Chain A
Amino acid sequence: MNERVIPAPSVDAESQPFYEAANQGRFLIRRCRACLRAHWHPRSLCPFCFGETEWSEASGEGEIYSYSVMRRTEPPYAIAYVKLAEGPTILTNIVATPFDAIAVGKPVRLVLAPTDGAGPPVPCFQIVG
């Protein structure tokens, strides 16, 4: 399947440790030291309680909350919201999966997908099984 080239993310001070870990094959999310809730996207102050947050390795397991296949671009691609096992829902792409196999509720697993040029990998997902 001809897959879309994913543009490289613009790395900033808050995201740099995430992408360094991704380059080593690890998927980090951020969790609050005060209220202990995980959130997405990562930020230094908790969006729920404004407590200080820290990196935490995630399992990479989740399920599709919603998705849409963009048919008007060449190649087409599948955007999705995936609900992680740790709780937060993440905007992502479903990759390495035939479009007609994608459905709401299906279990998915993390794929750290390469991006354009020398960009770091970004968290995408594929259908399990």
Chain B
Amino acid sequence: MNGQAYIVGAYEHPTRKAPDKTVAQLHAESAAGALADAGLTKRDVDGYFCAGDAPGMGPLSMADYMGLRLTHFDSTDVGGCSYIAHVAHASQAIAAGKCNVALITLAGRPRTEGHSGVIPRPAVAAVPETTWEAPFGAVTTNMYAMVAMRHMYEFGTTPEQLAWVKVAASHHAQHNPNAMLREVVTVVDVVTSPMIADPLHRLDCCVVSDGGGALIVAKPEIARSLHRPRVWVRGRGEALKGTAGGDVDLTWSAARISGPAAFAEAGVKPTDIKYASIYDSFTITVLMQIEDLGFCEKGEGGRFVADGNLISGVGRLPFNTDGGGLCNNHPANRGGITKVIEAVRQARGEAHPAVQVKNADLVLATGIGGLLGGRHGSATLILERE
């Protein structure tokens, strides 16, 4: 079972503001970076994965722009966690013999183009919920904020506990020269920053950045031929959650399904995980996933993340050592690929020395895409260094 597919290349585009580049160019530059990291060339790629940030219909325009010759492709889009699911789909396709080397790309310019989480996304009339929901001003921020509000009501979670997630991310970001926000912040800084959507403050929200990233997944024979640490895909899980016909319960996310599925496939427990990349669109997103993945009991997330428990070298669960979406980068308003990239860096021992977790041979990357308080997807990966 060991090693059906390996992540052999990972690259995060260094830009955080790209007014002079196109989105397609950022995809291609990210792809070139990941191929160089792996020691492969574009001619080796026969599988391609992208999501809604890729300009054009599914993979058609980007595959043509980059000049790819493909035997397999997949443009599953479940928002920001799509690229975590793509790693799973790529590993399945490789195991099934559909392709040998799969490229996954993400890129976007929301900072340059002025897109953020307080602006409604364009309403599409044929989407069945549009007529029922668009009038009420549901945007990214308030659809995560309602989850935080309910969590506080149900479990007594405090704004200060949520703030610890941002504090931990900022401790890591100070070591990342490419991070958009490198200043270390305090709990007081977070809870005194301007309120965006109650109870989420400005510093509870991720950055809006331009940029991109890419991953290369390859079959074992190819991974063994490359001169890079070998990181294989050991566990995979995916799930969707919606408004359930009105049976709304904001106390859990789809990670409650994707997480245990990944742990079961990997045959490991949350306590075995040395490092976790946890999608941090907002502080509440991290807290919810930590509970749903089983790192603590439901409702205990606030106490779990407090007092530096997520800081590398300090706490029990070092997370997002690149600074995450909260401080480093959230390209295309989608953070899934950067979660996998930093998990690969940790598994290889190539994270910044100040945040590298010792013997990080078993790591996790998980994400939520879409709206945590509405319809969302979740994808979880468990990766192991061989």
Picked from B135, B150, B243, the residue with its CB within 8 Å of the CB of A66 is B150
Q: A38-B246, A70-B141, A89-B247 are in contact. Are A79 and B146 (CB under 8 A)?
A: yes
A91 contact set on B, CB distance < 8 A: 132-133, 136, 138, 243, 374
Residues of A within 8 Å of B145, CB to CB, are 68
Interface residues of A in 29-79 (CB under 8 A from B): 37-43, 46-48, 65-73, 77, 79
**CB-CB nearest in chain B for A40:** B246
Known contacts A71-B198, A79-B137, A91-B138, A40 near B245 by CB under 8 Å: yes
Residues of B with C-beta under 8 A to A14: 128, 131
Q: Is the CB–CB distance between B150 and A65 below 8 Å?
A: yes
* Residue tally, chain B, CB below 8 Å to A: 41
Q: How far is the CB of A9 from chain B (nearest CB, A)?
A: 5
Known: A87-B246, A91-B243. A70 touches B149 (CB 8 A): no
Chain A interface, >50% SS class: loop
Which of chain A's residues has its CB closest to B124's CB?
A10
A-B contact count (CB 8 A): 126
Q: How far is the CA of A87 from the CA of B199 in the complex (A)?
A: 26
CB distance from B319 to the nearest CB of A (A): 25
CB-CB under 8 A from B97, the residues of chain A are none
Q: In which size bucket is the chain A interface?
A: 35 or more
Given contacts A72-B196, A73-B118, A104-B150, contact A9 B246 (CB under 8 A): no
A residues lining the B interface (CB < 8 Å): 4, 6-12, 14-15, 37-43, 46-48, 65-73, 77, 79-81, 83-84, 87-93, 104-105, 115, 122, 124
* Contact status A69-B137, CB under 8 Å: no
List 15 interface pairs A-B (beta carbons < 8 Å), by A numbering: A4-B137, A6-B135, A9-B131, A10-B130, A12-B131, A40-B245, A41-B129, A67-B149, A68-B149, A70-B137, A70-B196, A79-B138, A79-B146, A81-B248, A81-B373
Judge whether B134 and A10 touch: CB under 8 Å: yes
> Is there a chain A Cβ closer than 8 Å to B123's Cβ?
yes
Residues of A with C-beta under 8 A to B147? 66
Contact partner of A15 (CB less than 8 A), chosen from B118, B131, B245, B248, is B131
CA distance A68 to B373 in the complex (A): 11
CB atoms of B146 and A81 under 8 A apart: yes
Q: Does B194 contact A (CB under 8 A)?
A: yes
Task: For residue B283, give the distance in angstroms from its CB to the closest CB of chain A.
Answer: 14
Write out the residue numbers on chain B whose beta carbons fall within 8 Å of the beta carbon of A40. Answer: 132, 243, 245-246
CB-contact partner of B135 in A69, A83, A87, A115, under 8 A: A115
Docked pose: A88 CA to B195 CA in angstroms = 30
User: Is B250 at the interface (CB under 8 A from chain A)?
Assistant: yes
> When chains A and B are docked, how far (Å) is the Cα of A83 from the Cα of B147?
15
Nearest Cβ on chain A to B373's Cβ, whole angstroms: 7
B157 CB to nearest chain A CB (Å): 13
Q: Does B380 contact A (CB under 8 A)?
A: no
Q: How far is the CB of B172 from chain A (nearest CB, A)?
A: 27
State the 8 A-B residue pairs at the shortest beta-carbon distance, nearest first: A88-B246, A40-B246, A47-B245, A68-B145, A41-B132, A89-B248, A39-B245, A66-B150
Q: Are B137 and A12 in contact (CB under 8 A)?
A: no
